[in-house]
Amino acid sequence: MLKKVLWIAAAAAAVLVALAVSRTLDFTSGEVPKKAPEAPAVEEAAVPAAAAVPEVKPVEAAPPAPPPTPEELQVQEDAAATGMTTVEPEEPQPESPPT
Amino acid sequence: MGAFGLRGGRSGRCLALALVAPVLVGQSAVAQQTLPIPPAAAPAPTPPAPPPVEIPALSAEQAQVALKTLKAADLHGLQPKDYLPAGLPETGALTPAQNTALTAGLVRYAHDVRIGRMDPDKFPELWQVRPAAYDPAPDLLKALGEGRLQAWLDGLAPRYSGYVALKRGLVRYREIAAAGGWKAIPEGGKLELGSTDPRVAALRTRLSAEDPQAPVTGGTTFDKPLQEAVVRAQRRYGLKPDGVVGNGTLAYLNQPVGQRILQIIANMERWRWMPSTMPATRVQVNSGAAIVTLFRDDKPVLSMKAVSGKKGDETPMIASSIHSVVINPPWNVPTRIANEELWPKERANPGYLAAHHYRVIPVQGGQPRLQQASGDSSALGRFKFDFDNPFAVYLHDTPSKGGFDLYARQASHGCVRLEKPRALAEALLAGDATWTPEAIDKQLEGDKTVRAKLSAQVPVFILYWTAFAGADGQMHFRSDPYNWDRELLQRVGALAGGTKA
């Protein structure tokens, strides 16, 4: 029984020593990454070159905004009469030295 | 329909006036505008006045900027002589005294161009849209220290399109005045399409002075292009656009150009009382033109005609917030209207009050009150839009729809009657789960009074504009129905300066 145990312990110690040696030698450092599996050549060839570029649809011009209805025009006119409280954008000021 | 007896000892809502603080809408008060006006509390102890700001002498460059700005004060309808010290040299260094006087002029100018020439404490009671007090000295000191005097001066005037358009209009009408203005068209019979009259040539000349599209030349026959020009002019003056020149249209055309310049200046002054920014959703009323507009996300989405107060019962200028819509409102008749209008009718024609659905409500130890029942004949119609104000005025419906067909619509006791109250009610209550259009319909089937509180109060500004640029960019004028332009110009001393005020 004792013999069996000693054999197992010796085997385990041998495995550990082997592992330690392999780490020290660093067998995996120069490993080249595996290439991605190449796509089957048949499929690549089957796709026509022109079709690889998605077809560019002609840019559709946005439809012109419909002209304001008489009611909308009246609302704008009335808004002006009640005070145009929209804020004017700031006029660009010419560069000038500090004053 | 509410009234406010503020003049000549009339009994009205003076008590309310005494109890409620005026609404400041100046820069510091903007944030408070969506809140109801709080009742005036006991006066807080006045904080000690800040120490006077000492402004250092202007550099030669700063003095040049100051001089240039003050000389151009007339672009804002102000008078350069009010700010420019006398005897300043055109070139060369200023004496210390001149430099101090120039700085003082600059401070006065900054104050006037920003909040106007009226002392905020001396506004008439009905002009509740007022700026907060403003001392420009600390801002001037900061601008000088940061080397941005010109930029600071440029940013003082209101930036609203309405103000900028008036500024352009002022330049244009001064150019017309400098070119000789326009001559009055002699009075006479009506001028209309097909008329042959020696005055037609004068009419053409007069119209072309303001309207670049109007025909300048032509014979003595009133032709189609001239009729179109008359219609455009009538629209600009808020008159019935029938293309016929009668006495009414002639009176507007014959107002001298100097009068129009003064009107522009008065309205520019009012723009300075506005808050520096407006809430994105708001109701704006122009009592001078009797028009109401609802803005949502800063865009006008609904507008309608209105009827505002008549002369003597002027609709006050107010900034407040609509907090509720009353459906089927009864009318609690103000004492003044009861005494001056309704009780005399009852005495002359007994049964008048009952026939018009008035109820007499006894008041212990006082004169009985009158209340008109809700319903189709109620003077308030079917909708009332409530907002806090010292005058007990509000926006409301009316059974008298004919008033909206008129072109001069100042006929109420001070409240603002609306042409499309239902549309405004639906717009203000939009999104309210309870007050859907169907629920409003159901409520209108009966006469029961209900108050629909708005989930978010909507600011309301009742303003008074008599000169503004229309959507076409042309200047539009109204008749100054309350005579407030004249009163304002007198108060700020602009009348003495003539048309170059």
> Distances from the Cα of B79 to the Cαs of B41, B113, B352, B450, B467, in angstroms?
40, 11, 57, 53, 20
Residue B413 contacts residue B312 (beta carbons within 8 Å): no
Please list, in sequence order, all residues whose beta carbon lies within 8 angstroms of the beta carbon of residue B481, skipping any fewer than 6 positions away.
B288, B311, B408, B410
Nearest to B16 by CA among B352, B394, B299: B394
Residue B120: pLDDT band with limits 50, 70, 90 = confident
Give residue for tokens 């089927």. B328
User: Is pLDDT above 50 for B50?
Assistant: yes
Minimum-distance CB partner of B468 among A80, A90, A97: A80
**A74/B contact by beta carbon, under 8 A:** yes
Cα B38 to its chain centre, rounded Å, is 24
Nearest to B143 by CA among B43, B230, B55: B55
What is the mean predicted confidence (pLDDT) over A48-74? 72
The encoded tokens of residue B421 equal 């109250």
β-pairing, B282-286 with B331-332? unpaired
* Residues of chain B contacting residue A77, judged by C-beta atoms under 8 Å apart: 470-471
User: Is pLDDT above 50 for A36?
Assistant: no
**A84/B contact by beta carbon, under 8 A:** yes
Reported ipTM: the value is: 0.81
CB-side neighbour CA atoms (13 Å) of B207 = 30
Q: Give the residue from chain B lying closest to A89, CA to CA.
A: B159
Q: What is the pLDDT of residues B448-472, one digit of tens each?
A: 999 999 999 999 999 999 999 998 8
B497 class by beta-carbon count within 10 Å (0-12 exposed, 13-18 middle, 19+ buried): middle
What is the Cα–Cα distance from B359 to B355, expressed in whole angstroms? 10
**A75/B contact by beta carbon, under 8 A:** yes
What is the mean predicted confidence (pLDDT) over A37-50? 43
Please list, in sequence order, all residues whose beta carbon lies within 8 angstroms of the beta carbon of residue B50, skipping any fewer than 6 positions away.
none
pLDDT at B31: 35
**B264/A contact by beta carbon, under 8 A:** no
User: Is pLDDT above 60 for A53?
Assistant: no
Give residue for tokens 């609306």. B418
> Please, where are the H alpha helices in chain A?
2-25, 41-46, 49-52, 70-81
Other beta carbons within 10 angstroms of residue B298's beta carbon come to 14
> pTM of the predicted model, to two decimals?
0.80
A/B interface, count of CB pairs below 8 Å:
98
Q: What is the pLDDT of residues B326-341, one digit of tens each?
A: 999 999 998 889 999 9
Residue B359 contacts residue B373 (beta carbons within 8 Å): yes
Task: Identify the three-state secondary structure at position A24.
Answer: helix
**B295/A contact by beta carbon, under 8 A:** yes
B48-57, B214-223, B283-292: the lowest-pLDDT one: B48-57
The encoded tokens of residue A85 equal 């409280």
Whole-number CA gyration radius for chain A = 41
User: Is pLDDT above 70 for B30?
Assistant: no
Residue environment code for A80-94, b if the CB has 16+ CB neighbours within 10 A, otherwise e? bbbbbbbbeeeeeee
- The one-character DSSP state at B122 is G
Q: What is the pLDDT of residues B295-307, one digit of tens each?
A: 999 999 999 999 9
